[in-house]
Structure 1
Amino acid sequence: MRASYASDAAAEATTQHRAARRARGRSPSRGVGVSASTLPKSLLGRLTVATTRIFSGAKLRARREAAGYTQDALGQRIGTRRTNVCRWENYHRSPQPPTLRQLADVLGCEVGDLFEAVTK
């Protein structure tokens, strides 16, 4: 049985997304799916997408640098190691909810400010 047109479009978008991640030097397996920003405009109207929020290592890094913390200093402030902060910023891991609250308190933001919306 042939897959539906929307499934073909989704498969094509996923392939393009993975290729884009490889081009940026990231492993496609660490991705969270296809985002609207990486989809070709011709596919945007054909897909039904759901928006969800995920932890953003890039937003954590930006907030940490804006607050003047090194990875080591931030880790010490919240009671963890520098390597954990590095893993969060590089999307290898996500912090647990109590740690997210600590991060937000130390960085002077809301927990939601450390997340980004993605579509899938």
Structure 2
Amino acid sequence: MSDRPQRPDPHEMMARLEAMQRQAEETLRQYEGMQEQINAADIEVFSEDGLISVKLDGNGRIDKIKIDEYAMRRRQSIAPTIIALVDQARVAHAEKAAEIARQFLGNTGFGDLLDRIAPERPR
């Protein structure tokens, strides 16, 4: 009997490497698809009276702020409303991105991690 370890089969090692490459390429395709959906997810939120709205683009940047003429007459209350709407839109954008990520990540370790750091909020 020999105590020498058995040499790995080069064909088996190559097959494993090819499988790892295919898995990495699939993961990259999924990530790119997820990123495309997140980038396309515009978010728009409205004040309670509907006179002011804030829209974020898919990257979470402010795209538009709309202020109705009537709201302009109440100048003292516009700034806090806009700030609150920007905050609300950013939270909604983060939730949308997390929802899209959950769809792509599914029951992977990454999905579990996402659930711990960004738990799904009840609607």
Q: Shorter-chain TM-score: what band?
A: under 0.3
Normalising by structure 1, report the TM-score. Answer: 0.26
More contact order relative to length (CA 8 Å, sep ≥ 6): 1
User: If you compute each CA radius of gyration, which structure gives the higher value, 1 or 2?
Assistant: 2
